[in-house]
Structure 1
Amino acid sequence: MKQHLREIDSRISVLGACALGTAGVKVFALLPLLLGTIAEHLQLDDAATGMVASLYYIAYFVVTLTSVIWIRRANWRVLSMAGGGLMVLGLAGSATFSESYEGVILGMMLSGLGAAVVYALSVTLVSDMTDKDRRFAIKLIPEQIIPAALMFMLPVLVIDDFGLKGMLYVLALVIFVLALLSSGIPVRGRALTPDKTTKKAAGASVFIGLGALVVFFAGFAGLWAFTERLAHDALDPVVVGQLLALGLVSSAAGPFVAAIVGDRWGRITPIITGVVLSLISMLLLVGQITTFKFGLLMAVFPAAYYFSLAYLFGIISDADISGRFASLIASALALGAAVGPGVFGVILNGNGHNAAYLFAAIMMALGALMFIWMERRLERAHLVSFEGQIEHCPHAEISK
C-alpha cells in the first residue's frame, strides 16, 4: 500500500498528470486560432464556424459527465493511451478530410472525446496526491505555457505555409508526445476510507463545489472571451494580439506562484487575494481603453485568477470523499466556458460594457464566497475528526 502511495506522489506521476492535463486543454486553449483557420480554409460563416466549437464542447462535456462511472474502474494507463489515441486520430482525421466540413467536424468531435478522457484522468490523479494544492498549481503551469508557445509559433511557422492541414498534423504530433510522457502514471488511484465525521461534513459539498466552479469560471470565461473585441476598436489589432499573448503567459505565472506558496497560508487567504486582485484589475476596462491599461489588465487578471484556481480544485478534491467526482471538475469548467460568454454577450449588447463587467465580477465573487464557505466547513470537520481520534487514543487516556 505504501509503495502504491509513493508511486502516486512520484515525479513521474506529476509529469504524467501535467502531460494529460496539457493534452486535455490543448484544443480548447487554441480554439480561437483553430476556428479562425478552419473558417478561412473552408470559407465558413459565423454560424457554421460556431457549430464546430459547439459540437466539440458537447462531446467533451458528455464524456466528462460520465467519468464518475469509469474513472475508478478502468486501468489508468489504458485510459491515458486510449484518450491520447482518440485525440491523435481525431486531429489526423480532420487533417486528412480537411476539404470536407463534415470531416472536420467528425474529427474534432473525436478529438473532444479523447480530450475529455485525459483531462478527467489528470484531475483525478492529482486529487489522489498528498500535496494536492501545490500539484494542481504545477499542473496548471504547462497547461498555460505550452498553448501560449503554440499560439506564438503556429501562425508564423506552420499556418502561413501549410494551412489548416499542417496545423492539425502538428497538434496531433504534440498530443502523441504528451501521451508518451504520461505512460508512467499508476494503473489505479488510492483507496479512500474517509472517517464518519469527514464523510458527514463533505457529503453533498462536492456538488456545491462543482456548482461554485461553474459560477466562478463562467464569470472569467465571459470576460476573457470578449477581451479581444473590447479592445478592438480602441487599439491597433496587432497590439491587441501581442497583449493577448502576454495574457496567456501571465496565466501561467499565477499557478507558478501558487506552487511556491503551497498551503503555508491555508486556502482562504490565497483565494481572497487572487479574486480581489482579479476584480480590481477589471476596473482598468472602465472608461477609455489605452495600451497601458489593457496591457496591465493582461498582466494581472489572468495571473490572479489562475493563482486562486489551484486552491479551488483542492477544495473540491477534499470534499470528494468517494474519489469519483473530482473528475467532474472538467465538466464544470466546460459548462462554465459554455454559459459565461453567452450571457456576457447578451448583457453587453443589451445593457452596455459596465453591466457586462458587473456580471463577470458578481459571478467570480459569488463563486469564491461559496468556496470559502466550503473550506470553512471542511476545516471544522477535520478538526472534529482529529479531536475524536485523540479522545479514542490509548495514550490520551494515560495522560488523563
Structure 2
Amino acid sequence: MKTPKTNPIDTPSVYVCAGLVSGAGALLLNVLPVLFGAFAERFGLGEQQLGNLAMAMNLGFGAFGLASLLWIHRLSWRVISALSSALVAGAIMFVLRDPSYEALLAIMALAGAGTGALYALAMTIFGDSSQPERAFGFKLGIETVPGAFLLIVLPVAVAPVWGFDGMLITIAIAMVVMGILPLPWVPRRSERRLEVSGTAVRIASTESRIIVWLSLVASLVFLTGIMSVWAFLELMGKKTGLASDTIGMVLALGFLINAGGGFIASAIGLKVGRFMPVAVIILAELLGLVALAQFSSLVTYVAGVICFLFSIGFVLAYTFGVMAEFDLSGELVALGALCLSLGAAFGPAIGGVLIEAFGYSSVLWFSGVCSVAVLAIYGAAVMRAQLTFQRIRVSGTVVMSGL
C-alpha cells in the first residue's frame, strides 16, 4: 500500500519561511505612515507629493504583480525572492543619497515593483497548499507581524537614536532578513502545477475560471472598502478629540488583531464550511463600522477599530483560499497582489472624495456596502464550487478537498 504523498507546502517550516517572504512583500505598505512621515520631514514634501509617491509605489507593486504571470512558474522561486528583496533593499538604501523628488518617484516605483513581485510569489507558494484557507490564514497573519513590530520600533527606538538614515537601514535589513535568509526552506518550484498538468481528468476550465474570477473580484471589492476607511482612521479619532499617541497605540493594537484574524481563520479552515465564517465576520465588521460612526469615547473607538481590522486577514483567507483551490494552472492566484495594489490605490482616493463631499459617515457607508457586496460575490463563488463538487462526486472522476 502506497503512503499518500505529503504536500511539500503544508509543513510548518515552509509556512513560516514563505510567510516571512510575504511579510517582506507587504512591509512597505505596512510601514508607509511612518516612512512617509520621515520623508516629509527629511525632504520637505507636502501631502500631494507624498500621495504621488504612494501612487508610484502602488503602480510598481501592481505592475509586477500582473507581470508575474509571465515568469512566476518559469524561474526558481528562490531566485525571484532573492532578486526582488535585493531590489527593494537597494532602492531604500539609495534614498540615503538625498535624491531629487523626481528620482524619489522612480525609487518608490522600483521598491513597489520588488515588493509586488514578492507578494505575488507568496500568493503562488501558499496557493499550492492542499488546504488553501488554512495556508492563507497563516500567511495573512504572519505577514502582518513584522510591519506591526516596525511601526512601533522605528519611531520609538530607531529614529531617536539613529535618525532617518537608521530607519532606512533598518527597513533594508528587514527586507534581507525576511526575503533572502529563509529561502533554503522555501521550495524552488510548484509541485501542484506539475501534478495538475499530468491529470487526465479535471474540472472544466471554464467553471474553475469563473470561480477564480469571482473570488478575485470579491477580494478587490473587499480591499477597496477596507482601505477607504483604513487611510482615515487616525483622522476620525482626532476629529472626536482623541490624542495622537492614543490613536497610534489603538491602531498598532488593531494591526496585531488583524494578524490574529488570519491565524484564527487558519485554525478554523473548512471545519464549518466556507460561507458561514465569512458571513459572521463581515457582520462583526459592519458592527465595527457602526461603532466608528457613532463613537464618542475611547472604548467605542477601540471596539470599532478591533472589529473592523480583525475582519481583514480573516475574510481574505477565505476569498484567496477558494481562488487558489480552483486556479488549476496555479497562475491566476498571483493576481492577489494586483488586488492589494488596486485596493490600496482606489480605496483611499474614493474615501477622500466621499469625506470631502459628505463627511466621514459616507466613507463608512461605502465600506459597509462593499462588504455586503463581497458577501454576495463570495457566496456566488462558494455556491458554484459546491455545485461543481456535487457533479464530481456523482461522476466520480476526480477527488478534491471538501467544502
TM tier relative to shorter chain: over 0.9
- Is 1:338 aligned with 2:339? no
1:225 partner amino acid: A
Q: How far apart, in 1, do the equivalents of 2:4 and 2:182 lie? A: 21
Match of residue 133 from structure 2: 133
Q: How far apart, in 2, do the equivalents of 1:34 and 1:197 lie? A: 46
* Per-residue deviation, 1:125: 0.6
* Per-residue deviation, 1:132: 1.4
Q: Deviations over 1:56-80 (max 9, x none)?
A: 1111111111111111111111111
Match of residue 233 from structure 2: 227
TM-score when scaled to structure 1? 0.92
- Is 1:212 aligned with 2:213? no
What is the 5 A alignment of 1:180-259? Answer: 180-189=181-190, 190=192, 191=194, 192-193=196-197, 195-234=201-240, 235-259=242-266
Quick check: 1:94–1:103 contact (8 Å CA) kept in 2?
Answer: no
* Per-residue deviation, 1:341: 1.2
Match of residue 395 from structure 2: 388
Q: How far apart, in 2, do the equivalents of 1:173 and 1:85 lie? A: 10
Q: How far apart, in 2, do the equivalents of 1:85 and 1:107 lie? A: 13
Match of residue 382 from structure 2: 375
Quick check: 1:21–1:143 contact (8 Å CA) kept in 2?
Answer: yes
Match of residue 297 from structure 2: 290
Q: How far apart, in 1, do the equivalents of 2:104 and 2:13 lie? A: 35
2:158 partner amino acid: V
Quick check: 1:80–1:183 contact (8 Å CA) kept in 2?
Answer: no
Match of residue 116 from structure 1: 116
SS of the equivalent of 2:129 reads coil
* Per-residue deviation, 1:162: 2.4
* Per-residue deviation, 1:198: 4.3
Q: How far apart, in 2, do the equivalents of 1:64 and 1:390 lie? A: 34
Q: How far apart, in 1, do the equivalents of 2:116 and 2:283 lie? A: 31
Q: How far apart, in 2, do the equivalents of 1:197 and 1:170 lie? A: 47
SS of the equivalent of 2:294 reads coil
Quick check: 2:132–2:322 contact (8 Å CA) kept in 1?
Answer: no
2:62 partner amino acid: F
Match of residue 63 from structure 2: 62
Quick check: 1:93–1:103 contact (8 Å CA) kept in 2?
Answer: no
SS of the equivalent of 1:188 reads coil
* Per-residue deviation, 1:102: 3.9
Q: How far apart, in 1, do the equivalents of 2:32 and 2:98 lie? A: 16
Match of residue 105 from structure 1: 105
Structure 1 stretches of at least 4 aligned residues deviating more than 4 Å after TM superposition: 2-5
Matched residues, number: 390
Flag the 1:302–1:63 CA change in 2: closer, same or farther, 3 A: same
Q: How far apart, in 2, do the equivalents of 1:115 and 1:221 lie? A: 18
Match of residue 82 from structure 2: 81
Q: How far apart, in 2, do the equivalents of 1:108 and 1:16 lie? A: 26
- Is 1:273 aligned with 2:280? yes
TM-score when scaled to structure 2? 0.92
Flag the 1:385–1:344 CA change in 2: closer, same or farther, 3 A: same
Match of residue 304 from structure 1: 311
Q: How far apart, in 2, do the equivalents of 1:163 and 1:105 lie? A: 22
Identity, in percent, stands at 28
- Is 1:148 aligned with 2:125? no
Q: How far apart, in 1, do the equivalents of 2:312 and 2:113 lie? A: 27
Q: How far apart, in 2, do the equivalents of 1:74 and 1:36 lie? A: 37
Q: How far apart, in 2, do the equivalents of 1:41 and 1:196 lie? A: 56
Q: How far apart, in 1, do the equivalents of 2:166 and 2:7 lie? A: 41
Q: How far apart, in 1, do the equivalents of 2:352 and 2:293 lie? A: 17
* Per-residue deviation, 1:103: 4.3
* Per-residue deviation, 1:98: 3.0
Quick check: 1:90–1:109 contact (8 Å CA) kept in 2?
Answer: no
Q: CA RMSD in A?
A: 2.0
